[in-house]
Amino acid sequence: MIQMVRHIVDTRQLKDRRFLEGLFARADEMKHAVENKQVIRKHEGKIVASLFYQPSTRTKMTFDTAAKRLGAEVIGTENAREFSSAFKGETLEHSLLAVQECFDIVVMRHDKDGAAKRAATILNIPFINAGDGKNQHPTQALLDLYTIRQVFGRIGSLKIAFVGDIAQGRTIKSLAYLLAHLQNNELFFVSPPQLKLPEDMRAYLIEKGAKFLETDDLDAVISLVDVLYVTRLQWEYVQDESQKNLLQESYRKYQITHERANNMKDGSIIMHPLPINTSKSEGFPEIASEVDNHPRALYFRQSNNGLYVRMALLDVLLTGPSDPLYNLILDVP
């Protein structure tokens, strides 16, 4: 019997709660090992391809570090659009097929929606989507949920408000889908009308019976939720300059200030997938700088958790079918 290669492309593959709980338990182990300076060389001799066609800081650095802490080598580029044969007109499929035997796993970020599924379809080694256009960012959703579990001790029966660019934010889609598979979570989508919940997301949440509310009134929900998940305006997908100006103006009323952070309920937290849009925000970043030191602000801890979750995920995929968690990953939808 031929064992199917597993890939991580979309959070809809991760519906099995046993996978989530097992992965997070392993991330706890990785965190303990790193904090206690324990050396892990479990995957020495293996090679990870790190192909980033879109700019990245946290995702690339934590993936590369995760691989090295597991003993694997990393080969790749963070400027694949300019410094790979894509610049010469080669297709993504040809680029991957031409080199896949060099690697044990491929980690890829791409600016085009659906690029991750295209890659997974043709590769015969494991593949991890590190973000594809406006579509999905599954490992971000996993580290987000891991952070929520750290704080609340559970991944269900929570109220989560997504604030900002709902229409174009792949991190929101990925986490919302993940939360929709779990019990009794209530989701709030807070945004300007121009950036509201897209129809495909709305249809999926309805299909799964998820409880959710759409609103443009941040202050009406801020005191109700356990998690305030804030996102930046996705400038790279807005082409029209006049539209940019309108969005920038409307975005200002959703800024998380120190006062708004104080108005949240006891025990609640503020998350953000980062980066916070500071230099392009005309003085109105989606989270004001003074909030960085607020006790509810967890986005830097959230980001650092990416190391442990990505170590755990690389461990599962590099180990392969002998790892029970490997076999709990569903097919790519």
**Active site includes 109?**
yes
| Residue among 229, 210, 205 at smallest CA distance from 218 | 229
The residue count of the chain comes to 333
Q: Which of 58, 118, 196, 202 is catalytic?
A: 58
296 flagged as catalytic: no
Asked about 59 being catalytic, the answer comes back as yes
Out of 12, 43, 69, 109, pick the active-site residue. 109
Say how far apart CA 251 and CA 189 lie, in whole Å.
14
Q: What is d(CA 167, CA 190) in angstroms, rounded to the nearest whole number? A: 11
Q: For residue 46, how many other CB atoms are within 10 A of its CB?
A: 16
Among 137, 232, 294, 296, the one annotated catalytic: 137
Q: In the numeric block, which tokens belong to residue 220? A: 């009406």
Beta-carbon contacts of 220 under 8 Å, excluding residues fewer than 6 positions away, are none
> Any catalytic annotation for residue 41?
no
3-state secondary structure of 15: coil
147 assigned to active site: no
Q: Which residues of 249-263 are buried (b: 16+ CB within 10 A; e: fewer)?
A: ebbeebbbeeebbee
Q: Is the alpha carbon torsion for 167, 171, 177, 183 positive or negative?
A: negative
Burial class (CB in 10 A: 0-12, 13-18, 19+), 101: exposed
- Output helix, strand, coil percentages for the chain, rounded to the nearest 5: 45, 15, 40
Catalytic-role residue among 59, 62, 171, 231: 59
As a whole number of angstroms, the distance between CA 211 and CA 166 comes to 17
Catalytic residues: 58-59, 88, 109, 137
